[in-house]
Chains A and B, each alone.
Chain A
């Protein structure tokens, strides 16, 4: 299916995308959920170089990108910066310029600092940059795969009531989702203790609730956010027990939502903290494993979309 919209050079933030561009990514990704389509694309990126440049630990996302690149026939290199030249005092800028000199086509970056991927994208003159998560700012491919998962169950995102529950303050996944789901017309409810819900999200389509009972009322989708336990030091919540009791998702709390509610969470999940094992494993509600599957499809679509200009026949 030919895209009516041309894709951007980089995928850095959902905030930068229009609703049309988002729909185009999702339409392409939907194709990549069909094994026969994937088979046909196995040489799409032959001869192209994709680099996973991860400044932060990751198994899931890195593997997902690696599989996506390999299934499209690209040459994929993984650089874990713990063993890189940065340890020898090289600046990020120099490292990126060096990589570019080796003719890279796609640079996939995860970095612990917000805005760092944007900085790197400005250092290179050719090639596409994909943000695999920068600090607490954005994680665009996660939001795209979340949206794809929702569409497979609910058809249209517009008009859905979607509860995003947990540590919104520190979550790049939450921010990307708020942008994407908002642009596609969903009604968003942010739910959690007041210490973890910033009060600045006050657009007309966003409501803030401090109790699960109110936030989950008639929800179509519940997106749980992992409680990052390192937050305990910051005095944001008093204890894991209280957090689970008041803000953790259990079968009991699901009763407030619609009977066909979809439960999602970007892994890794903490069983017994933000979500009970019972809910996570209940396939009538939980799409958590399906999200992982959608992740590979979405990342194949992103690699396809961002290299289209490069692959134009000469």
Chain B
């Protein structure tokens, strides 16, 4: 499909979570924007207007996924995944916008690094890559980063990524300072002193396996502490990832008290539990660790009842060698861009969550939290879209990943639902129709 002439996707099931649209019809795209949408965009319309079209054969047409927690490797890391490889994985995963953590090398605590990354991603004209600036300089948790400059360069929020800013004075200042620039603070939900040196969640299994472990309360302790400062400053706060029932409880109370709080989780925490590390399976070594079954069920419940606002990929590419070692020495993290969609659909197929409600967690909710205008299938919005087959059953095959990183605990995992095409600004960046 050419970018420079209008074209249409017709005969699809139109899905727009933010407006509640769920009907058969088509979308007209021109100059990178959605210019018309509805049941009237059909073959007759296209023939009359002489507009090239694609028949979606009844498959779903939805806004492209917005992934608000993932990692890129910037330089010197071609063994794990290059930026272009990450962009390929995102396209295959149906992700049209994503936000990366600042734990790149060099760290996103200087405006120049942010500018470089944004520029490199824009050049590629594929998935829109945004980034979070670091909350503290050098991710050291002591001195505030230059949030003003970082925001000017394009940072859309601030976080220390894979660890919480633990010092209460520093965190309080970070929340206050971010509010000066009307920006969002995102905090990794785990008390770093409790988590230090641990590899698994504290339980009978990890005890039996002899693995140093962290109690589940380390998550709610960090969040609970943070929420006092959120109440004091009324500054927007996002907690991620939510993996335990106690954390879900605390977030629920905070929302009832109308605090400016949001949160997200990723599929590993509602598709797997700690049993996945049996046999010292390094592909299931994640940070934070996989939890007990009761936590997994609480996460599912939290997503279904709207307590957990978004689902993210938590894409953490690791090279083969770093996982092909002992559990203790293995790197933590899983590639997640290409499994985000099918795994999230399990909430619809197996746990009775409405398709629109589920897609909201992947599109307009993250867009709203981040202040992005995309994530909606509406006239005037950027034509960032996916076409997907909601019913196709298959097993996840890591060797079919378009991205370089294959470190996923979901190889052979049975799923239902497949991305067929991905569009960014009306340009097709992935096609597997």
Cβ of B180 and Cβ of A193 under 8 Å apart? yes
Interface-facing stretch out of B17-25, B170-178, B341-349: B170-178
Cβ of A235 and Cβ of B169 under 8 Å apart? yes
User: Shortest beta-carbon distance, A126 to chain B, in Å?
Assistant: 45
Cβ of B148 and Cβ of A246 under 8 Å apart? yes
**CA–CA, A232 and B143, complex, Å:** 8
Asked if A236 is at the interface (CB within 8 A of a chain B CB), the reply is yes
Query: Interface digits, B152-188 against A, CB 8 Å rule (1 contact, 0 not)?
Result: 0000000000000000011001001101110000000
Nearest B residue to A242 via CB reads B146
Give the residues in chain A near B147, CB-CB below 8 Å. Answer: 238, 242
Residue from the list B142, B177, B235 in contact with A193, Cβ < 8 A: B177
Q: Classify the secondary structure of B's interface with A.
A: helix
Query: Interface digits, B207-237 against A, CB 8 Å rule (1 contact, 0 not)?
Result: 0000000000000000000000000010100
Asked if A239 is at the interface (CB within 8 A of a chain B CB), the reply is yes
List CB contacts (< 8 Å) of B361-405 with chain A: none
List CB contacts (< 8 Å) of A210-250 with chain B: 210-211, 232, 234-239, 241-242, 245-246
Interface centre among A211, A234, A237, A238, by most chain B C-beta atoms within 10 angstroms, is A238
Cβ of B180 and Cβ of A210 under 8 Å apart? yes
**CA–CA, A272 and B151, complex, Å:** 22
User: Shortest beta-carbon distance, A84 to chain B, in Å?
Assistant: 35
Chain A residues touching B, range? 10 to 19
**CA–CA, A87 and B97, complex, Å:** 66
Residue from the list B148, B169, B176, B233 in contact with A242, Cβ < 8 A: B148
Asked if B145 is at the interface (CB within 8 A of a chain A CB), the reply is yes
Query: Interface digits, B133-144 against A, CB 8 Å rule (1 contact, 0 not)?
Result: 000010000111
List CB contacts (< 8 Å) of B82-102 with chain A: none
Nearest B residue to A193 via CB reads B180
Cβ of B177 and Cβ of A237 under 8 Å apart? yes
Cβ of B146 and Cβ of A194 under 8 Å apart? no
**CA–CA, A235 and B233, complex, Å:** 16
Residue from the list B144, B176, B233, B235 in contact with A238, Cβ < 8 A: B144
**CA–CA, A245 and B177, complex, Å:** 15
**CA–CA, A63 and B147, complex, Å:** 41
Interface centre among A211, A232, A241, A246, by most chain B C-beta atoms within 10 angstroms, is A246
Give the residues in chain B near A158, CB-CB below 8 Å. Answer: none
Residue from the list A211, A234, A236, A239 in contact with B146, Cβ < 8 A: A239
Q: Known: A194-B176, A194-B177. Is A235-B146 also a contact (CB below 8 A)?
A: no
User: Shortest beta-carbon distance, B173 to chain A, in Å?
Assistant: 5
**CA–CA, A234 and B179, complex, Å:** 18
**CA–CA, A239 and B137, complex, Å:** 10
Residue from the list B144, B179, B180 in contact with A235, Cβ < 8 A: B144
User: Shortest beta-carbon distance, B300 to chain A, in Å?
Assistant: 37
Asked if A85 is at the interface (CB within 8 A of a chain B CB), the reply is no
**CA–CA, A232 and B137, complex, Å:** 13
Nearest A residue to B181 via CB reads A210
Asked if A195 is at the interface (CB within 8 A of a chain B CB), the reply is yes
Asked if B149 is at the interface (CB within 8 A of a chain A CB), the reply is yes
**CA–CA, A235 and B176, complex, Å:** 11
User: Shortest beta-carbon distance, B158 to chain A, in Å?
Assistant: 11
Cβ of A235 and Cβ of B173 under 8 Å apart? yes
Give the residues in chain A near B143, CB-CB below 8 Å. Answer: 232, 235, 238
User: Shortest beta-carbon distance, B149 to chain A, in Å?
Assistant: 6
Residue from the list A195, A239, A245 in contact with B180, Cβ < 8 A: A195
Q: Known: A235-B142, A238-B143. Is A195-B173 also a contact (CB below 8 A)?
A: yes
Cβ of B144 and Cβ of A194 under 8 Å apart? no
**CA–CA, A100 and B177, complex, Å:** 48
Interface centre among B143, B169, B180, by most chain A C-beta atoms within 10 angstroms, is B180
Cβ of B179 and Cβ of A236 under 8 Å apart? no
**CA–CA, A106 and B147, complex, Å:** 49
User: Shortest beta-carbon distance, A269 to chain B, in Å?
Assistant: 22
Give the residues in chain A near B180, CB-CB below 8 Å. Answer: 193-195, 210-211, 246
Give the residues in chain A near B137, CB-CB below 8 Å. Answer: 238
Give the residues in chain A near B142, CB-CB below 8 Å. Answer: 235
**CA–CA, A193 and B233, complex, Å:** 13
Give the residues in chain B near A236, CB-CB below 8 Å. Answer: 144, 173, 177
Q: Known: A238-B147, A242-B146. Is A194-B233 also a contact (CB below 8 A)?
A: yes
**CA–CA, A241 and B173, complex, Å:** 18
Q: Known: A194-B176, A195-B180, A210-B179. Is A235-B149 also a contact (CB below 8 A)?
A: no
Give the residues in chain A near B149, CB-CB below 8 Å. Answer: 241-242, 245
User: Shortest beta-carbon distance, A207 to chain B, in Å?
Assistant: 15
Give the residues in chain A near B148, CB-CB below 8 Å. Answer: 242, 245-246
Give the residues in chain A near B146, CB-CB below 8 Å. Answer: 238-239, 241-242
Nearest A residue to B171 via CB reads A235
Nearest B residue to A239 via CB reads B146
**CA–CA, A193 and B173, complex, Å:** 10
List CB contacts (< 8 Å) of A111-139 with chain B: none
Cβ of A195 and Cβ of B177 under 8 Å apart? yes
**CA–CA, A177 and B142, complex, Å:** 33
Give the residues in chain B near A237, CB-CB below 8 Å. Answer: 144, 177
Give the residues in chain B near A234, CB-CB below 8 Å. Answer: 169, 173
Query: Interface digits, B237-272 against A, CB 8 Å rule (1 contact, 0 not)?
Result: 000000000000000000000000000000000000
List CB contacts (< 8 Å) of B106-150 with chain A: 137, 142-149
**CA–CA, A95 and B137, complex, Å:** 47
User: Shortest beta-carbon distance, A185 to chain B, in Å?
Assistant: 29
Give the residues in chain A near B173, CB-CB below 8 Å. Answer: 195, 234-236
Give the residues in chain A near B235, CB-CB below 8 Å. Answer: 194
Query: Interface digits, A42-62 against B, CB 8 Å rule (1 contact, 0 not)?
Result: 000000000000000000000
Cβ of B145 and Cβ of A238 under 8 Å apart? yes
List CB contacts (< 8 Å) of A245-282 with chain B: 245-246
**CA–CA, A153 and B181, complex, Å:** 34
Cβ of B179 and Cβ of A194 under 8 Å apart? yes
Give the residues in chain A near B176, CB-CB below 8 Å. Answer: 193-195
Cβ of B170 and Cβ of A235 under 8 Å apart? yes
Nearest B residue to A232 via CB reads B143
Q: List 6 A-B contacts (CB under 8 A).
A: A194-B177, A234-B173, A235-B143, A235-B173, A238-B147, A242-B148
> Lowest 6 A-B CB distances belong to which pairs?
A238-B144, A194-B176, A210-B180, A242-B146, A194-B180, A195-B176
Which residues of chain A have a CB within 8 Å of any CB of chain B? 193-195, 210-211, 232, 234-239, 241-242, 245-246
Other A-B contacts than A194-B177, A194-B179, A246-B148, 20 sampled, CB-CB below 8 A, are A194-B176, A194-B233, A194-B235, A195-B173, A195-B176, A195-B177, A210-B179, A211-B180, A232-B143, A234-B169, A235-B143, A235-B169, A236-B144, A236-B173, A236-B177, A237-B144, A241-B146, A242-B147, A242-B148, A242-B149
